[in-house]
Amino acid sequence: MLRDHHAYGSLTVKAIITKSSNIGAAKVGLRLGAPRLHAYMQRFGFGARSRISLPGEVRGTVHPLKKWNKLSITRVPMGHEVAATPLQMAMMMSAIANGGKLMRPMVMDHLENDRGRVVVQYHPEPVRQVVSPEAARAITEALKTVPQPGGTAKRAALQYYTVAGKTGTAQKAGRGGYLPGKYYASFVGFFPADAPALCILVSMDEPKGDYYGGLTAAPVFKAIAERTAAYLGLKPDLVQQGSIVSGNRPQPR
């Protein structure tokens, strides 16, 4: 039987994301159907190397459709039967921030010689358009509710920036079943939500005590985000009281 952390009644798709509902995710998966769900997973880059210029990258795990069982369509949407790298998770969230466009990850912007002259300039490389810009905006609106009251990551909310993100909490699997008391927790998000400049992923392997992503990884995301935004001098899209500041559009970095 599928269960949620709390018992919910009827939920909209946005509320399914807000509450991180396993049952709701399963129902969305059933509406999509296995072929479409599997295709979108591949289009977002799961189960494939990203071609980042670093050694040791693995593909992760996305089983072919022929190996799915009768429960897969309700388990895969909540993260079961799938193994993803942190880089793949960050790429997926960045694709939403980029209007549905998946980008190849870059390690550096350019190379300079000893005189400070640029000898190699790297350029952003789109991989594919995964979803439409309209769909990406709708997903962003849902993700903006996660750090808000009623969401699973209130501790990720920033004072001066609107955050869009998602928590993750998974019990670790071992031979013969799940490992008792062993969890993997994460939070991945971008901000300012409507004019994204930064995407940050925080993942924790076997956090001690509380193990939910919203309680462990979300506060670390907040601490990193606050310091990084100050270092880069990003203009806020919120004032302290919570009203929107008009005309501030930070440039992607």
Q: Does domain 144-253 have CATH number 3.30.450.330?
A: yes
The answer, yes or no, to whether residue 242 has pLDDT greater than 50, is no
What are phi and psi for residue 117, nearest 5 degrees? -90, 135
Q: How confident is the model at residue 1 (pLDDT cuts 50, 70, 90)?
A: confident
Please tell me the pTM assigned to this model: 0.90
- Whether a cis peptide bond, with omega within 30° of 0, leads into 219 is no
Other C-beta atoms closer than 10 Å to the C-beta of 252 total: 11
Mean pLDDT of the chain: 93
The answer, yes or no, to whether residue 134 has pLDDT greater than 90, is yes
Q: What is the pLDDT of residues 139-168, one digit of tens each?
A: 999 999 999 999 999 999 999 999 999 999
Helix (H) or strand (E) segment spanning residue 13: helix 13-19
What are 134's two structure tokens? 């309209």
Contact 50, 104 (CB under 8 A): yes
d(CA 229, CA 74): 38
Other C-beta atoms closer than 10 Å to the C-beta of 66 total: 5
pLDDT of residue 251: 45
The answer, yes or no, to whether residue 246 has pLDDT greater than 90, is no
Contact 237, 248 (CB under 8 A): yes
Q: What are the Cα distances from residue 217, in Å, to 57, 158, 214, 222, 250? A: 23, 14, 6, 9, 25
Contact 93, 188 (CB under 8 A): yes
Q: What is the pLDDT of residues 191-237, one digit of tens each?
A: 999 999 999 999 999 999 899 999 999 999 999 999 999 999 999 99
Calculated CA dihedral for residues 139, 141, 146, 148, nearest 10 degrees:
180
Give which of 122, 86, 100 is closest to 200, Cα–Cα.
86
In the chain, domain spans? 144-253
Who's near 80: CB < 8 A, 6+ residues apart? none
